[in-house]
Amino acid sequence: MSGANAIHGVILLGAIIATGTSEGALPVTLGVIAIVLAAVNMVGGFVVAYLLCAVGFILALKGLSGPRTARTGNAIGAVAAVVGCAIPFFYADLQHVGLILGAIVVGSVVGLIGARQVQMTQMPQMVALFNGVGGGAAAIVALLELRELAEVDSLGADVPWFTLLATGFTIVVGAISFAGSVITFLKLQEVMTSRPVVFPGLPVVFGLGLVVAVVLVVLGIVSPALVVGIVLALVGLLLGVLLVLPVGGADVPIVISLLNAFTGLTVAAGGYVLGNTLLLVAGTLVGASGTFLTRLMANAMGRSVGNILFGALKGGSTLGAGEASDRPVRSAGPEDIAILLAYAERVIVVPGYGLAVAQAQHTLRELVDVLTERGAKVDYAIHPVAGRMPGHMNVLLAEAQVPYEQLVEMDDINGDFKNADVVVVVGANDVVNPAAKTTPGAPIYGMPILNADEAKQVVFLKRSMRPGFAGIENELLYEPATTLLFGDAKDSLSKLLSAVKAQ
């Protein structure tokens, strides 16, 4: 039997075994992969497989647009990615296959361990790291391609200028994405301060860096050389650091989304350089969706992307951690709050990052279930940037089996706050801070917020009087209609649940 027929036979056997296995995600995934590869092998080309993978990526994005279909969309995207990575082993003349397989094994193990161990509260940091790795990988591949293109040019062969332009673009933007993503990780992980870091002359240095990058790209087109690419990569790393240092507080997740778009563009440009249609399609999808998400997040913050990136240079960026206030507030115990909830017919819950930190979503759902069983109408008000990434609260509450119907977006629920008897704010702060509407010059001024201040009574579950991620006080805490319940969110909700059941 020839090598091709042997491969064909193994693939078909794998398809039969996998699809005939008992129910489960892994057998189905293996079956789909094997069947696709078998079909492609019978057709005699990899173009069909790349086309199917591209369609899979598009369907994955569509699935991820809604909570009900997100799991399916993620699975489709994962299968398409695995198939796309497997195709070159069958239809490309690969060298150093052992090293490639070794790198795949190492990367798979690291990714699996990371995905298993990462907490929901650390998801933005993980996204930042994964995004940075993608940008760095694209830059390295482009450097290797530049070396080959330089050798071709030295032999007198004609190298298309646009290919050299795309290569230079991939190097510099990939390096920016890598360095910037590392800084966002350090800020969110609190390894370094989350406050803006600025120094005299930063705009000048950044501007000169951009000019140098453009000059190097042009030089790489006129006279391609590996050393030019290496210097360009170093300049890109510097630009990435300088781009993110002035960003602070709640703006960091938006920059992660922007850098994700950068990585997508580098992958698309790299796909053009390599002549790989699948990379071109995947990179374009990531770049477009990342850009769209960045604009949505910026709109949710009521600010422009330019202000988010460079606002700190004139005092306009969210500032990060601040000092705890010693102003007097009205506080109460779980029993008093339980009495308040017992007479409430309309309750709105505002979840935030503190809920995720305390892992209190299951206890909160139990409390809401009890209130619902007693006749109260209860909904969760979801702000677009609650937590630290879009969808953070949706995923967290879905994990606790909260019905999708109870998750109501800001625009749909803001009109209901004036009719709410009680609003329970769990671990949120900036998304209900009236300063966004009443205090010009505040870091969050202009940001659309949840209108919790319009409710008859507001209950805040807080660990301390420290301000939110924006670093400013929330005047809602000091209003006569506001009551604070201090303590860890999970512990406070457990006590409150017991007190409500005892009513």
The residue whose two tokens read 């202009």 is 446
Q: Which residue of the set 379, 416, 430, 453 is catalytic?
A: 430
Amino acid at 45: G
- What are all long-range contacts of 285-289, with beta carbons under 8 Å and residues at least 24 apart? 285/57, 285/58, 285/61, 286/260, 286/261, 287/261, 287/262, 287/263, 288/261, 288/264, 289/61, 289/261, 289/264
Report d(CA 2, CA 44) in Å as an integer: 15
Report d(CA 61, CA 298) in Å as an integer: 21
pLDDT tens-place string over residues 293-311: 888 777 766 667 777 777 6
Residue 430 annotated in active site: yes
CB atoms within 10 A of CB 11: 21
Tell me what percent of the residues of the chain surpass a pLDDT of 70.
84
CB atoms within 10 A of CB 437: 17
> What pLDDT does 197 receive?
84
Report d(CA 25, CA 71) in Å as an integer: 11
Pick the CATH number of 334-501 from 3.40.50.1220, 3.30.365.10, 3.40.50.2300, 3.60.21.10: 3.40.50.1220
Confidence of residue 45 (pLDDT cuts 50, 70, 90): low
3-class SS at 460? strand
Q: How much of the chain is in helix, strand and coil states, percent to nearest 5? A: 65, 5, 25
CB atoms within 10 A of CB 365: 20
Domain locations in the chain?
1-117, 122-320, 334-501
Q: Can you tell me the mean pLDDT for 175-203?
A: 87
3-class SS at 483? strand
- Going by C-alpha positions, the residue among 489, 411, 484 that lies closest to residue 451 is 411
> What pLDDT does 250 receive?
65
Take residue 364 and report the two structure tokens written for it.
Answer: 């909160």
- For residues 95 and 41, which has the higher predicted lDDT (pLDDT)? 95
Q: Can you tell me the mean pLDDT for 270-297?
A: 86
Q: What is the mean pLDDT of the chain?
A: 82
- Going by C-alpha positions, the residue among 286, 265, 248 that lies closest to residue 127 is 286
Q: Does the pLDDT value for residue 334 go beyond 60?
A: yes
What CA dihedral angle connects 322, 327, 328 and 329, to 10 degrees? -40
Report d(CA 217, CA 116) in Å as an integer: 41
Which residues, other chains included, contact 336 with Cβ-Cβ below 8 Å and sequence gap of 6+? 483
Which residues, other chains included, contact 344 with Cβ-Cβ below 8 Å and sequence gap of 6+? 371, 376, 421, 422, 457
pLDDT tens-place string over residues 109-147: 988 888 788 776 677 788 888 889 999 999 999 999 999
- Going by C-alpha positions, the residue among 438, 439, 436, 443 that lies closest to residue 470 is 443
CA neighbours closer than 13 Å in the CB half-sphere of residue 414: 11
pTM for the structure as a whole: 0.74
Which segments within 306-397 are labelled E, that is strand? 346-351, 377-382
pLDDT tens-place string over residues 376-429: 999 999 988 777 666 778 778 887 888 888 999 888 999 999 999 999 999 888
CA neighbours closer than 13 Å in the CB half-sphere of residue 44: 0
